């Protein structure tokens, strides 16, 4: 019989809990809003324990892909904590500890974007690749990098949504929306930034609105920065804003333009539409990624 795993996509807005053996074997799923740490973690524990009891099974492991910033360092005293988030109640709160003590199974813990990257690498758009990146452009902007087959952590973990981009205030006077940096990547193109800039939710903007060209411009600047930094074999762009699929060809064209012939690979120069791609797991990348993380413990 297949091993059965638990997964949590721990978001700042909602938690998605799932029980599965793989992408086509999802046995149960529950979503609830992220309230206080205590209440939210309690609900997750109750979901997994009820499933185990009712089905008389034991989960082999749990994977947790979480919003952050968080502490991903297993040797640290605060491993598994959410650290400096502005989200009320969650600053310096222990997410992993109470899951461990209540579930008593092995747990893999990482950022939400690393989890999604791991899922896309195992079953999705980056299958078979050792070096690739996954970005979400949604409520915030976050990036996960798989380098030599492993998620990159470094000192803490990358915050790729907060890089600074060239921003000509004469051409584009929008000051940005990041509470820390104003016009960083996230401050310019995350959903809330687009809402502030255009005065209406991004999903209401017509697809031929000239604003999309500007959005693609900033995303392409970021892509050229990340291609130069990490030399990924592929880049996956997900999240609510990327539901606007008209962005892809604009991003392709501008990324090539901004690299300006310097990175000499046919993968980019001739096949960029296969290089910067949407997630294959769609909006399941996060929750399936958490299952993939749990599976990787075996
Ligand atoms: P989260 O980042 O919270 O996990 P999403 O990736 O769905 O969730 O991102 C939500 C953000 O994306 C919101 O700001 C929303 O306005 C924006 N968004 C959602 N769907 C679309 C769409 N079809 N087009 C443009 N923006 C969208
Ligand atoms: Zn920022």
Do 211 and 217 contact (CB within 8 A), yes or no? no
Condensed to tens digits (0 to 9), the pLDDT of residues 60-114 reads 999 999 999 999 999 999 999 999 988 999 999 999 999 999 999 999 999 999 9
Q: Report helix, strand or coil for 295.
A: helix
Condensed to tens digits (0 to 9), the pLDDT of residues 11-20 reads 999 999 999 9
Cα–Cα dist 136/239, whole Å:
4
Which one of 3.40.462.10, 2.30.42.10, 3.40.50.720, 3.30.420.40 gives the CATH number of domain 5-115+283-295?
3.30.420.40
Buried b (16+ CB within 10 A) or exposed e, 66-94: bbbebbbeeeeeeebbbeebeeeebeebb
Q: Would you state the pLDDT for residue 57? A: 97
Cα–Cα dist 287/2, whole Å:
19
Q: Would you state the pLDDT for residue 2? A: 87
Topology adopted by domain 125-278 = Nucleotidyltransferase; domain 5 (3.30.420)
Condensed to tens digits (0 to 9), the pLDDT of residues 219-253 reads 999 999 999 999 999 999 999 999 999 999 999 99
Condensed to tens digits (0 to 9), the pLDDT of residues 139-181 reads 999 999 999 999 999 999 999 999 999 999 999 999 999 999 9
H or E segment at 44? helix 37-55
β pairing state of 5-10 and 61-66: parallel
Higher pLDDT, 294 or 2: 294
Closest residue by Cα to atom 26, ligand 1, is: 241
Interacting residues of 163 by C-beta distance below 8 A, sequence separation 6+: 184, 185, 222, 225
CA 61 to ligand 2 center in whole angstroms: 34
Q: Report helix, strand or coil for 288.
A: helix
Condensed to tens digits (0 to 9), the pLDDT of residues 248-269 reads 999 999 999 999 999 999 999 9
Q: Name the residue of 111, 139, 208, 284 to mutate for ligand 1: max ligand atoms within 8 A of Cβ.
A: 139
Cα–Cα dist 89/8, whole Å:
19
pLDDT more than 90, % of the chain? 98
* Two domains, one topology: 5-115+283-295 and 125-278: yes
Q: Which atom of ligand 1 lies nearest, measured to the CA of 201?
A: 16
Domain boundaries defined on the chain: 5-115+283-295, 125-278
Q: What are phi and psi of 8, to 5 degrees?
A: -130, 125
Q: Which atom of ligand 1 lies nearest, measured to the CA of 191?
A: 14
Q: Report helix, strand or coil for 94.
A: strand
Closest residue by Cα to atom 24, ligand 1, is: 203
Q: Name the residue of 240, 284, 286, 290 to mutate for ligand 1: max ligand atoms within 8 A of Cβ.
A: 240
CA–CA distances in Å: residue 136 to residues 50, 133, 167: 32, 10, 21
Closest residue by Cα to atom 7, ligand 1, is: 240
Do 129 and 76 contact (CB within 8 A), yes or no? no
Which ligand number lies closest to the CA of residue 178?
A: 2
Ligand 1, pocket residues at CB < 6 Å: 11, 13, 136, 138-139, 191-192, 201-203, 239-241, 243-244
Cα–Cα dist 265/60, whole Å:
42
CA 142 to ligand 1 center in whole angstroms: 13
Q: Is the pLDDT of residue 1 over 80?
A: no
Interacting residues of 214 by C-beta distance below 8 A, sequence separation 6+: 172
Give me the DSSP letters along 229-261: HH--SEEEEESGGGG-TTHHHHHHHHHHHHHTT
**Of 292, 197, 200, 194, which Cα lies nearest the Cα of 239?**
194
Report the chain's terminal Cα–Cα distance, integer Å.
15
Cα–Cα dist 56/58, whole Å:
7
- Average pLDDT over the chain, rounded to whole? 97
């Amino acid at each position: 019989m297949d091993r059965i795993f638990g997964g949590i996509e721990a978001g700042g807005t909602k938690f998605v809990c799932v029980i599965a053996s793989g992408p086509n074997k999802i046995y149960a799923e529950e979503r609830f809003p992220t309230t206080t740490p205590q209440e939210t973690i309690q609900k997750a524990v109750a979901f997994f324990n009820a499933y185990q009891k009712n089905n008389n099974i034991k989960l082999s492991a749990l994977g947790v892909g979480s919003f952050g910033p968080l502490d991903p360092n297993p040797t640290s005293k605060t491993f598994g904590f959410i650290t400096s988030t502005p989200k009320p109640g969650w600053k310096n709160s222990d997410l992993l500890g109470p899951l461990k003590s209540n579930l008593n199974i092995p747990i893999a813990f990482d950022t939400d974007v690393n989890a999604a990257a791991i899922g896309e690498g195992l079953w999705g758009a980056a299958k078979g690749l050792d070096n690739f990146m996954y970005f979400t452009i949604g409520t915030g902007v976050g990036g996960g990098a798989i380098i030599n087959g492993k998620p990159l952590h470094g000192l803490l973990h990358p915050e790729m949504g907060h890089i600074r981009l060239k921003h000509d205030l004469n051409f584009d006077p929008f000051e940005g929306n990041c509470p820390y940096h104003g016009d960083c990547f996230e401050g310019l193109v995350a959903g809330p930034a687009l809402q502030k800039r255009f005065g209406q939710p991004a999903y209401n903007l017509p697809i031929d609105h000239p604003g999309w060209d500007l959005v693609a411009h900033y995303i392409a600047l970021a892509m050229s920065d990340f291609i130069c930094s990490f030399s990924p074999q592929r880049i996956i762009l997900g999240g609510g804003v990327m539901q606007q699929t008209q962005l892809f060809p604009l991003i392709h064209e501008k990324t090539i333009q901004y690299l300006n012939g310097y990175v000499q690979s046919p993968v980019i120069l001739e096949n960029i539409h296969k290089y910067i791609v949407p997630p294959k797991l769609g909006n399941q990348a996060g929750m399936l990624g958490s299952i993939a993380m749990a599976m990787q413990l075996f």
